[in-house]
Amino acid sequence: MARPPQNPPPKKPAGRRDPVASGERDASVNRSASHNYFLLEKFEAGIALRGTEVKSVRGGRANLKDAYGLVKDGELWLINAHIGPYEHGNIFNHEPLRTRKLLVHRNELNKLVGKAQQKGLTLIPTRLYFRNGRVKVELAVAKGKQNWDKRETERRKTADKEAKEAMARSRKS
């Protein structure tokens, strides 16, 4: 008995998906965090957003430069994170600088309470990205740098870069 010919698998759409929405690229990165702080430990947290905020993050309108995390009343909050208003929004558009709740497991929160209350340590968001269609924030437990710390870090970076370049030159010849 002859089998009928099977249909080929459906083709993927010709256009590429947005790299931010698919998780290939970060939606926002706090580049000044590693310059101003020693990043001791990083962890991931979900973030409670409104619909227009998610659309703005997909559009690349998020800024974490002055943001920080705060543990208050047994909950974790993201303060001063700027998510610009959605371009096609209406009267129900969100406020750009509103305080947003971060979603973490209770045991992670308990660890953070101890670390965040130590003198000189704070919670700094380092990047905002998508994972499985959900917006995530990478938070770091950080200790502030003094000016001499920043200069020392810069010297170390240049020394490492020069050493790598010298090794690459020696390999070529």
- What stretches of 91-146 show up as alpha helix (H) in DSSP? 106-116
Structure tokens at 89: 């929004």
Q: Show me where the domains of the chain are located.
A: 28-145
User: Per-residue pLDDT tens for 83-115?
Assistant: 888 877 776 777 778 888 999 899 888 888 877
pLDDT tens digit string along 27-37? 778 888 877 88
Taking 70 as the pLDDT cut, the residues of the chain under it are 1-5, 7-17, 20-24, 91
Length of the chain: 173
pLDDT of residue 61: 84
pLDDT at 7: 67
Per-residue pLDDT at 163? 92
pLDDT at 4: 66
Kindly state the tokens that stand for 115: 């670390």
CATH number of 28-145: 2.40.280.10
Asked whether 144 and 132 are in contact (CB, 8 A), the reply is no
